[in-house]
Amino acid sequence: MVMQRHLYVTARRWARTALCLSLLATSTISLGGPFTNPVLPSGPDPWVTRVGKTYYLMVTRGDKLTIRKTNDITRVAAAPEVTVWTPPVTGPNARSIWAPELHRIGSKWFIYYTAADSGHDDNLHRSIFVLENAGSDPSQGRWIDRGRVNTRHSAIDATIFSYRNKAYFVYSLQLGSESWLAMARLRTPWRLEGPEVVIARPTKSWEREIYPINEAPEFILGPKGDLFLTYSASACTSDEYAIGLLSAPAGSNPMDPRVWTKSPSPAVSKAPEVAVFGPGHNGFFTSPDGKQHWMVFHANPGPSMGCTSNRGTWIEPFTFSANGRPVFSRPSGKQEKLDAPSGQSTGQTRR
């Protein structure tokens, strides 16, 4: 009996040890960092979606769509980059695959991306296209091509959002030499209904560096119900490329251009003192415990680096002021340590 009890206790200790080692090998709860930016050295037009404790990152790759899946967004560079879709050889969505966004709508996943026609790879022949996946994990399963979104103009950098049980589609349209922000209602995830309205034009000097551009809109709802849209301004080839902010009062009709007010200066701009240039094309996500707001964006780690794959992926926390407006900090340099998102796990998600 003594021997049996000894074996039983020993077996339980080994089982506990094995369990602890297994947990350490997969994931542990983050104690808050630290990490440094960029979290991905080459990651233009980044987009982060979080489901539970799992993050999904997409960036522009030009000739394909890829997803990185991780439990630790600060170590996303160590996550496998899985190709989930490649374009056809010819056709309207065969070239310049840009600015993907991954959204969960109901029980399905959708990717919105920019592409150009194989015969006309220029700004007047770009459109937004949609892919659909019914699986639970967007890095796996089958993606179905739902075709082109029926915008009235050439289009890039689309995003979607829901407000008061209505779905909206916002994108950057090309008119002559300028890019404006336009909005429409969504009837389905890939079909617009009703009119399209222009809500912003590049009217300020900091929005017209090299080219007059408003692009890459992103929506966030403030804690007091106010509506906010960030966007990127000027040409991405410029070090002055920056993130602007539009705001509308709580309860506004987003389709009414008159409700949107543009901030007079950039919300996020270059920080040459820490070697951050041309920050832009941002997205938003929250920490796994829901206590922190984070922004993801790209930037160059040096001057005059242009609009290339040298743009890295940055993540930065932000807050809201007492009156409910977002407060963004100066971008952090590669020598400045930040705490990781609260409540996240460290270590990569198992495939």
Looking at every residue in the chain, the average pLDDT score rounds to 92
Amino acid in position 155 = A
User: Does the pLDDT at position 125 exceed 70?
Assistant: yes
pLDDT, greater one: 164 or 33: 164
pTM: 0.90
Closest by Cα among 171, 263, 177 to 215: 171
Q: Give 246's pLDDT tier (boundaries 50, 70, 90).
A: very high
- For residue 50, what pLDDT is reported? 98
Biggest CA-to-CA distance, the chain: 89
Regarding the domain with residue range 31-346, which homologous superfamily does it belong to in the CATH classification? Glycosyl hydrolase domain; family 43 (2.115.10.20)
Q: Is the predicted pLDDT of residue 213 greater than 50, yes or no?
A: yes
Can you say how many angstroms the Cα of residue 346 is from the centroid of all Cα atoms in its chain? 21
Residue type, 66: T
Residue 170 in tokens: 């916002």
Q: Are 349 and 52 in contact (CB under 8 A)?
A: no
The residue from 45, 72, 196, 240 that is catalytic is 45
Q: What confidence tens digit (pLDDT) does each residue in 94-104 have?
A: 999 999 999 99
**Do the beta carbons of residue 97 and residue 113 sit within 8 Å?**
yes
Distance CA 195, CA 184 (A): 6
Give per-residue pLDDT as tens, 126-163: 999 999 999 999 999 999 999 999 999 999 999 999 99
Q: What are 220's strand-pairing partners?
A: 228
* Contact between 169 and 182 (Cβ < 8 Å): no
Band of pLDDT at residue 9, cut at 50, 70 and 90: very low
pLDDT class of 203 with cuts at 50, 70, 90: very high
Check: CB of residue 95 under 8 Å from CB of residue 141: no
What six digits make up the tokens of 291? 């206590």
Q: Domain ranges in the chain?
A: 1-29, 31-346
- Among candidate residues 117, 215, 218, 316, the one labeled active-site is 215
215 is catalytic: yes
pLDDT of residue 23: 35
What pLDDT band is residue 32 in, cutting at 50, 70 and 90?
A: low
pLDDT higher than 80, residue 28:
no
| pLDDT in the model for residue 176 | 86
d(C-alpha 315, C-alpha 48), whole Å: 10
